[in-house]
A and B are shown apart, each in its own frame.
Chain A
């Protein structure tokens, strides 16, 4: 057990997977010699050689497309898209190919592939370094979608994703790379090294896909969150005094419906928070599921706190980002209804 940042945990997961299985190969833009623009693959090329960890041309469709060919061959590629905002050129390969390979070939060919990408805002990343495109992937049958919120989960979920026989989209909230962030941008940033969730087990302990984690137990309202919003929700609960149960979904597909339903049936209220834009965002799916499964337990309409339906702005960062103030308002409102 060691204290580490999310970056170090992700690097550790790569290291453990590459050591355990020579079929694991790692590549992407700036991933090889340099070790990645966020350092998530630092030292891997030196340790495992250039045929296991290497730099790729700047072509997202090429990175994903070649990885699909490698996976079909029998390797286990773990590839990086430098920012989730830049995944779109690869969307055809992900949706039409990676997601469908098993089904359309009746498992003649499969695609055990992990596509990592830094996601989310709160870093003055502007339009193309802040997006949260998870809903574009949860909508695609055949894909799994994962987003950790802390170093321990980042390592465990990445190892589970690499071991998984299906293609996994692995979102890494870059705002959480170095430490937790609750949306209070005017306060000093804490490091993971002094946070209990920075404790990461050695070796290859996995965190199973499809299992949520309760980050804060509560009786009055269920908050469904993932990524950076987990910490924002926790802060909002503390600051408003609303006894919220904060659930960190961790896996969006497959989704831990049991944990959601169990909590909402207990509390009778639900607030959904995500950074992504509202309309047709993943929150809409969560809201529909809560309505379908918890209708007679609900004491108030479900509320979504999300990014606005606008491109992610630069100067208006904190008016866009759903911070503890906005989440807190929602918690108070859902209690009044």
Chain B
């Protein structure tokens, strides 16, 4: 050791705000709505490098839609979008409560992130395939997947399409472009690239959308997905939902805050964009742009949806143990439902009265679905899947050893 060498020390990033502290997002740079121009879909990724460091926003603080990215949705579509987000939020609240009542073992809500999956879904076409994580149920709700079926899955009852094999919320629906959810993080990101490669190999026109959270970008499969997507110019939209938190771990532990998550696309030559994840119009506009890019053969796009996980990580998590209770309220991009509501009111297409009525209707819809699902059964009562079924579907044809084990188990 030379005389001027001091002992090294390990850098462990810390969030700005722990329980008891006052949230401070003053260092979080938010460009004004409409500031980022909309490039053509065949743009060279190198020409839009700045977009990975800015944020595409459409709705301004007065609820007006401004800039190049505005105007992609009709009033009817906006009404529908608001309804989808309300449905998802209400569904979440009811299922959270059902878990507390012991009707199911587990649930994960989307509070504050409703715009991301609900708005993205609208940019896809039938036949496209999402490779979601456990926090994009808006893709199902916005594509018209029956809410009762979602609840049947959560309750693991006799009508659960997955026959009680899967943990609650790990939905699967090929028909609705929703790939089977896995508990293993990041795995589906690279699978989405493979699905997109298959579409290209087959001369198809369908595209894939991969999904990953900020924390899981640290998984090796994030890197694998990026290199394969770029190498083969796969028709895929790679979505990072940056909700600032991975359970108790703030995004800095996945090395967020150094550059941006979107900027990671630059090293791979992937068009990379950051979007206001709480702005329904912006998420939809960017999704539509990226999907068109992919569908026209211009290659992959990486989208970082900047949002905030307002709820606990799951029903097994208490966020007040690691972050301030006031942080969600202080989040500078606000609430996606409130912002779309404000926009609809600003353009004269909505009112507080209509909103209250819509909330009541949505609650009624969700309650009705819940009654229907619970009439079939819940984890603790009613009709359950056959134990015989756990031996099915391991292989297409049950091999002899599984037949023997099923008999041994008495089914």
A contacts, CB < 8 Å to B: 25, 51-52, 56-57, 59, 61-62, 65-70, 72-75, 89, 92-93, 96-97, 100-110, 141-142, 144, 165-166, 210, 253-255, 257
Q: Which of B170, B197, B202 lies in contact with A69, CB distance below 8 A?
A: B197
B70 is an interface residue with CB less than 8 A from chain A: no
Q: Which of A97, A105, A210, A254 lies in contact with B172, CB distance below 8 A?
A: A105
Bound Cα distance A101, B394 (Å):
9
* B393 and A73 contacting across the interface, CB-CB below 8 Å: no
* B393 and A70 contacting across the interface, CB-CB below 8 Å: no
**Proximity bits, B222-257, A CB within 8 Å = 1, else 0:** 011101100100000000000000000000000000
Q: Which of B179, B192, B221 lies in contact with A109, CB distance below 8 A?
A: B179
- Give 14 A-B pairs besides A73-B194, A104-B172, A254-B399 with Cβ atoms closer than 8 angstroms: A59-B227, A59-B228, A65-B187, A66-B194, A68-B191, A69-B190, A70-B198, A72-B179, A73-B129, A89-B220, A93-B190, A93-B221, A96-B184, A165-B396
Q: Which of A89, A109, A141 lies in contact with B180, CB distance below 8 A?
A: A109
* B184 and A92 contacting across the interface, CB-CB below 8 Å: yes
Query: Which residue of B has the minimal Cβ distance to A112?
Result: B396
Query: Which residue of B has the minimal Cβ distance to A49?
Result: B201
With a cutoff of 8 Å between Cβ atoms, the chain A residues found around residue B149 in the complex are none
| B409 CB to nearest A CB, Å | 14
With a cutoff of 8 Å between Cβ atoms, the chain A residues found around residue B227 in the complex are 57, 59, 62
* One of B77-85, B161-169, B307-315, B351-359 contacting the partner: B161-169
Query: Which residue of A has the minimal Cβ distance to B395?
Result: A166
B400 is an interface residue with CB less than 8 A from chain A: yes
Bound Cα distance A65, B199 (Å):
15
Bound Cα distance A108, B177 (Å):
11
Given A70-B201, A142-B394, also A104-B190 (CB < 8 A) = no
With a cutoff of 8 Å between Cβ atoms, the chain A residues found around residue B195 in the complex are 69-70, 72-73
Query: Which residue of A has the minimal Cβ distance to B230?
Result: A57
With a cutoff of 8 Å between Cβ atoms, the chain A residues found around residue B394 in the complex are 102-103, 141-142
Give the top 8 A-B pairs by smallest Cβ distance, nearest first.
A69-B194, A66-B194, A62-B224, A65-B190, A73-B198, A105-B180, A69-B191, A69-B195
| B113 CB to nearest A CB, Å | 24
Bound Cα distance A101, B165 (Å):
12
B401 is an interface residue with CB less than 8 A from chain A: yes
Bound Cα distance A92, B182 (Å):
11
Beta-carbon contacts under 8 Å, B353-386 to A: none
Query: Which residue of A has the minimal Cβ distance to B191?
Result: A69
Bound Cα distance A108, B173 (Å):
7
With a cutoff of 8 Å between Cβ atoms, the chain A residues found around residue B208 in the complex are 69
B196 is an interface residue with CB less than 8 A from chain A: yes
Bound Cα distance A257, B197 (Å):
40
Bound Cα distance A104, B184 (Å):
13
With a cutoff of 8 Å between Cβ atoms, the chain A residues found around residue B107 in the complex are none
With a cutoff of 8 Å between Cβ atoms, the chain A residues found around residue B180 in the complex are 101, 104-105, 108-109
- A-B CB contact pairs (8 Å), 26 listed: A25-B198, A59-B223, A59-B227, A61-B190, A61-B221, A65-B221, A66-B190, A68-B194, A69-B192, A69-B194, A69-B197, A69-B208, A75-B202, A92-B184, A92-B221, A93-B187, A97-B187, A97-B191, A100-B182, A104-B180, A105-B180, A106-B393, A108-B161, A108-B174, A165-B396, A257-B401
B65 is an interface residue with CB less than 8 A from chain A: no
* B184 and A73 contacting across the interface, CB-CB below 8 Å: no
With a cutoff of 8 Å between Cβ atoms, the chain B residues found around residue A142 in the complex are 394-395
B131 is an interface residue with CB less than 8 A from chain A: yes
In the complex, which of the residues A57, A65, A101, A253 has the most CB atoms of chain B within 10 Å of its own CB atom? A65
B193 is an interface residue with CB less than 8 A from chain A: yes
Bound Cα distance A166, B129 (Å):
21
Bound Cα distance A230, B357 (Å):
76
Q: Which of A92, A105, A144 lies in contact with B187, CB distance below 8 A?
A: A92
Given A109-B180, A142-B395, also A70-B187 (CB < 8 A) = no
* A105 and B162 contacting across the interface, CB-CB below 8 Å: yes
* A59 and B197 contacting across the interface, CB-CB below 8 Å: no
Query: Which residue of B has the minimal Cβ distance to A90?
Result: B224
* A69 and B187 contacting across the interface, CB-CB below 8 Å: no
* B201 and A25 contacting across the interface, CB-CB below 8 Å: yes
With a cutoff of 8 Å between Cβ atoms, the chain A residues found around residue B196 in the complex are 69
Q: Which of A72, A110, A255 lies in contact with B396, CB distance below 8 A?
A: A110
* A104 and B166 contacting across the interface, CB-CB below 8 Å: yes
* B400 and A73 contacting across the interface, CB-CB below 8 Å: no
* B165 and A103 contacting across the interface, CB-CB below 8 Å: yes
| A238 CB to nearest B CB, Å | 33
With a cutoff of 8 Å between Cβ atoms, the chain B residues found around residue A110 in the complex are 396
| A175 CB to nearest B CB, Å | 29
* A107 and B393 contacting across the interface, CB-CB below 8 Å: yes
With a cutoff of 8 Å between Cβ atoms, the chain B residues found around residue A65 in the complex are 187, 190-191, 193-194, 221, 224-225
With a cutoff of 8 Å between Cβ atoms, the chain A residues found around residue B201 in the complex are 25, 51-52, 70, 75
With a cutoff of 8 Å between Cβ atoms, the chain B residues found around residue A72 in the complex are 129, 179, 191, 194-195
Bound Cα distance A36, B316 (Å):
49
In the complex, which of the residues B163, B199, B228 has the most CB atoms of chain A within 10 Å of its own CB atom? B228
Query: Which residue of A has the minimal Cβ distance to B390?
Result: A103
* B197 and A70 contacting across the interface, CB-CB below 8 Å: yes
* A106 and B165 contacting across the interface, CB-CB below 8 Å: yes
